[in-house]
Amino acid sequence: MTDQTQETQGVWTLAEHFEGTLKGVSFELLARGRKLADKLGTPLVSVLIGDAVGEDALMTLIHQGADAVYTVQDERFRYFVCESYAFVLSRLIEEYRPAILLAAATSTGRTLMPYVAIKGHTGLTADCTELDIEEATGNLLQTRPAIGGNIMATIKTPNHRPQMATVRPKSSRPLATDPNRTGEIKRIPVPSLPPQGTLVKGYRRDEAGSLGLEEADLVIAGGRGLKKGENFTLIRDLARRLGAAVGASRDAVDRGWISYPHQVGLSGKTISPKVYIGIGISGAIQHLAGIKTSETIVAINADPDATLHKIADLGIVGDAFQVIPELHKQLDARKGKTNGTYV
C-alpha cells in the first residue's frame, strides 16, 4: 500500500442541490465538517457541482460553516450524472488534495462516492452516524452500524487520501446561520469532460411530486397489511395531506404495489425522519434496520403483538382501513387550528 497521507489538507463536504436550490443535507454536512476541521485546524470547504446556483445560495454555505466554497457550474451539471460529477470531483481532488471528503448518504452520495473512491484508490465508509478525529494520528474515525445494526463499527483509512465517508441524512443538525461569516467563493473552470459525457435535459420525478424519502421529516410507510396495491392510495393520500414522503416494506415492493425507490430497510433506504408512521408493517428486523434512527416511531397495526408496536413510541392497534379514515377526520377537525404543519 502506498502512503497517500502526505500534503493533504482541508475537510470537504459535498453540497447537493436540485434545479439550483440547495438541499438541507448540504448544511447538515457542514455542521459535521466544521467540528472535524476545527479539531484538525484546517479549512472547511463546501464543494458544489451544478448549474445556475446563485451567489446568495453559495453564501449561505459560508454563513452556515464553510470557510470556502469551490464550485464548478455548467448546464451539463444541472442534474446529477454520476460519470460527469465523478470526473469533476476526481479532478478537484487531484488538484487540491483534501484530507477528508464527506457526502450525504443520499442517492447522489451513495452513487457518486464509491465511484470517486475507486477512481482515487482510496477507501469509503458508507452511512456513518458518527465522525471524529483520532487525537494521536489525526485520522478520521468513521462510525456506522454494522451486522444489522447490532454493533457500532469504527473504521479508519490510515494510508489513503482523501478519507471518504457518507453521512446519514438527518443524523446532525445544521449550524445556526451567521450572516457575518465571510469566506471565498472559488468558481473553478469546467474541466473538459470525456466526449461520452451525458447531458440530462430534464428530470422526471418518481410518482409526481413525491418527496425524497431520505430528506423528509415525516415518512408514512405501508406494508403487506394493506392487502393489495390499489390500497396504497390510502398511504399516498395521507402523505400528500401531511407533506410526507411515502415509504414501503420490502414485501409491498416485491408484490409490485410500489416501486423499489420507496423501500425502507436493510436492502432499501435508511431514513431518519422526525416521525415515521408504519401502517400494516410487522417490523421485521430488516425493516427496522432502515428506520431505527427515526426520532419518533408510530405503528398502526391490527396485531397488538406486532414487533413494530413493541419498538414504537406510539401505537394504534387497529385495522388500517378504519384508522386511516379516522385520521383524516381528526385532521379535518384540526383544520384551521394549526399553522398547516402537523409535525
Positions touching ligand FAD (CB under 6 A) are 223-225, 249-252, 263-268, 280-282, 284, 286-287, 290, 301-303, 306, 319-321
CA angle 77, 82, 87 (to 5 degrees): 75
For the CB of residue 263, give the shortest distance to ligand FAD in the complex, in Å. Answer: 5
d(CA 300, CA 313): 11
Q: Are strands 275-279 and 151-155 parallel, antiparallel or unpaired?
A: unpaired
Residue type, 159: N
| Smaller CB separation from ligand FAD, 120 or 265 | 265
| Smaller CB separation from ligand FAD, 128 or 221 | 221
For the CB of residue 326, give the shortest distance to ligand FAD in the complex, in Å. Answer: 12
For the CB of residue 115, give the shortest distance to ligand FAD in the complex, in Å. Answer: 23
Q: Report phi then psi at 334, rounded to 5.
A: -90, -5
For the CB of residue 232, give the shortest distance to ligand FAD in the complex, in Å. Answer: 12
Order of strands, edge to edge, in the sheet holding 44-50?
124-128, 163-167, 100-104, 11-14, 44-50, 68-73, 184-187
For the CB of residue 204, give the shortest distance to ligand FAD in the complex, in Å. Answer: 25
| Smaller CB separation from ligand FAD, 115 or 232 | 232
| Smaller CB separation from ligand FAD, 317 or 331 | 317
CA-closest candidate to residue 220, choices 298, 290, 282, 284: 298
User: Is residue 239 within 8 Å of residue 246, measured between CB atoms?
Assistant: yes
Residue type, 59: M
| Smaller CB separation from ligand FAD, 20 or 148 | 148
What is the Cα Rg of the chain in Å? 21
For the CB of residue 288, give the shortest distance to ligand FAD in the complex, in Å. Answer: 9
| Smaller CB separation from ligand FAD, 157 or 263 | 263
Q: How far is CA 101 from CA 108, 114, 293, in A?
A: 14, 12, 23
d(CA 8, CA 43): 11
For the CB of residue 287, give the shortest distance to ligand FAD in the complex, in Å. Answer: 3
| Smaller CB separation from ligand FAD, 68 or 266 | 266
Q: Are strands 296-301 and 130-133 parallel, antiparallel or unpaired?
A: unpaired
Q: For residue 335, give every residue at least 6 positions away whose Cβ sits within 8 Å of its Cβ, in sequence order, or none.
A: none
Residue type, 79: Y
